[in-house]
Amino acid sequence: MFWTESFCNLSTDGQQTVTDIVPWKSMEKTCGLIFLAQTEYVIFMYTKNQEIVFEKANLGTNIHSLCAFPHDGSLNIIYCDEMETYITKKIFGSEQLEHDIFVNQYFLCFQVFKEKLLALTPAKVLLERSLILDFTEDMDQEQEEFVELNCNMLSNTEEIVDKICEDSKILQKLDLELQAEEDKNQRLNLYAHQKKFQYQPKMNVKHIAGKVFLSADFANIFPKNSWVYLNLINDGKKVTCGKLIKEFETVLEMLIPEEFISDSLDITVDLVTHTNEGQPWCLIKNCLKDSPPKKKKEGLKLNKISFIESKLATLRKLQSEDCLDIEKLSEIKKSVRKEINNS
């Protein structure tokens, strides 16, 4: 074919091996190809006036990695050897390369992706640059803007700090009010659902100066800012002791009247989640419920089952041999009973 002959005529010798083919694109369409070989030369292939055009250029070094993209009527080329990186521009129709820039940095490979240039460093760090490069600036230099400080910049800072402190106090106050409302809503929700707490308080009876006192220790189970009431009921009479719940555990201590000391004494606990002057209290009567009894372990352990099965096998064997008597049966029964009781 004609274009194959043209390509071979442009190579340094007819047997030169192509090591890589790099396309360049514009508007997501491939516009041309760059053929790389194990020399300093590359061959550009593109179309012009509905014909395939081949052009050769000397990049001056053995190319390790290369990528290209069109910009402003020319082809921008970024390539590197095994030590350094170069940036150049090719004008179509000429073998001359313009604006050759040297960068003292090595990259493993380049890739053009969605109008971005991706470069992989030897440390496996992926860098991203815009394709619209400024060729008067090295790739490895970052442009930083510095603002010179002077004393005038510190004027009126005290007023700004005072304003910030004032606003922070207002914000803190609003935050406390919000927390109080959230706490109130939580306690009202407990009352609406008549929440029961599965808990058994620690109760102790103390004898002090000939008097009997009851102490009830409630761990941190009730919501803060609610009231807990301990009630003693006996023969239709009732004695109550209440306390506001703070952040930590709540302990109630109350005197047990002498006439209340009997076997018929009943103790209950009520919870008031919210109080408001002139309005009914949000009361949860008998707010505690007993913990469910612990379920006994169902079934027997495998070693117990094996033991019983062995005794059954012994019984069957004695019965088949007609050697079973009351004494042997009693021994087997005692051993089985002892093993089960130890489980």
Per-residue model confidence as pLDDT tens digits over 163-182? 999 999 999 999 999 988 88
Span 178-200, mean pLDDT?
Answer: 87
Which of 245, 272, 265, 292 shows the shortest CA–CA distance to 205? 265
Quote the CA–CA distance of 44 and 114 in Å, as a whole number: 22
Domains and CATH numbers, the chain: 2-130 (no CATH), 197-289 (2.60.40), 302-341 (no CATH)
Give yes or no for a contact between 24 and 70, defined as CB atoms under 8 angstroms apart: yes
Angle separating helix axes 302-320 and 326-341, nearest 10 degrees: 170
Cα–Cα–Cα angle for 20, 14, 87, rounded to 5 degrees: 40
Give the helix, strand, coil percentages of the chain, each rounded to 5. Answer: 25, 40, 35
Residue written as token pair 């790739």: 139
Higher pLDDT, 288 or 342: 288
Per-residue pLDDT of 235-270, as tens digits, reads: 888 888 888 888 777 888 888 888 888 778 888 899
User: pTM for the complete prediction?
Assistant: 0.41
For the chain, where are the E strands, in sequence order?
18-26, 29-37, 41-48, 51-58, 65-71, 74-80, 85-91, 97-103, 109-113, 116-120, 126-130, 197-198, 202-208, 211-218, 227-234, 237-244, 250-255, 266-274, 282-284, 288-289
Span 68-96, average pLDDT: 82
Q: What is the mean pLDDT of residues 106-124?
A: 83
The pLDDT value given to residue 158: 84
Position 294 scores a pLDDT of 57
